[in-house]
Structure 1
Amino acid sequence: MPDIYPNADVAVRKFYLADTACNLKEYRLANKILSSVDRYIKDQLDYNYHCLQTDADTINPYDVQVSISLLNEMAELTARHQQLAVSAQVQKHLTEYRSKFTSVIQQP
């Protein structure tokens, strides 16, 4: 599957592929998918954080909330399957972006 992400919902679908790979103990494939999703989410959240600093009306709170929720799910999945390197990377991003987007996360 190519690394094409037209929106955050595609990242969610790829997460489920990685979840299935983990359940099948195909950790190399799962880690490859999760690293790709992590890079996409980091890129999108960096862009949204820039927008938050310059023009908060331009960000999409739904995309930010989905992205942070997905990081949380990825951190739990990698920890549960003891994929420590990917887990540490995702957890680092989760902690960073939770603090950056506190105001956006708390929106209804």
Structure 2
Amino acid sequence: MSQPLFSVIQLLLPQYDNDGQPFAPALLAEVKRRLTDEFGGLTAYVRAPAAGLWKDGGDTVRDDVLVYEVMAGHLDRAWWASYRESLRRAFRQDALVIRAYPVEVL
């Protein structure tokens, strides 16, 4: 018999602002606290930030991102949409990616 499905939710958070300055550690600590309180745990991939690349007009823009990940038994899309918007404002971004994957625990 298989285990119930969960969702793994990943947040891709910029490490630096648009001027190249690192975000305050307190901002990242608050995200960790909120997710840990809400979901009972967190995995943070922060030792080797991922490099995001995208086109902005003719220029290629690079952004170093930290990946925070939680598991949830129920994917509350309204909660995540609201939280994504609050993070987008806090990190002063035009857009911020939060993605979810279904996962079966073996």
Q: Which structure shows the bigger proportion of residues in strand conformation?
A: 2
**Higher RCO (CA < 8 A, seq sep 6+):** 2
More helix per residue? 1
Q: Which structure's CA Rg is the greater one?
A: 2
How does the TM-score come out when normalised to structure 1? 0.28
TM-score, length-normalised on structure 2?
Answer: 0.29
